[in-house]
């Protein structure tokens, strides 16, 4: 929360980090030997972890 009570900066930063986590896991999406369901779980886990990490602390 910023000094003026807004959280928009924090939300923007968190969304950018989640986007980077998705981009960094993109190599998994391109592999043919991994099931689609596994790819989805890995990507969702990485993105959710980044989005929710600060909420827990």
CA torsion through residues 9, 13, 18, 19, sign: positive
Does this model's pTM top 0.75? My answer is no
pLDDT for the residue numbered 13:
81
Q: Where do we find the tokens 């986007």? A: 19
Q: How far apart are CA 47 and CA 52, in angstroms?
A: 9
pLDDT digit string (tens) for 2-56?
Answer: 566 667 777 788 888 888 888 888 888 888 998 999 888 888 888 788 777 756 5
Estimate the crossing angle of helix 8-24 against helix 36-56, to 10 degrees.
150
Residue 21 has which token pair? 């986590």
pLDDT digit string (tens) for 41-57?
Answer: 888 888 788 777 756 55
């Amino acid at each position: 929360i910023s000094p003026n009570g807004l959280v928009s900066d924090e939300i923007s930063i968190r969304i950018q980090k989640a986007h980077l986590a998705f981009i960094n896991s993109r190599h998994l999406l391109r592999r043919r030997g991994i099931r689609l369901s596994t790819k989805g779980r890995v990507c969702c886990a990485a993105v959710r972890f980044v989005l929710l990490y600060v909420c827990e602390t």
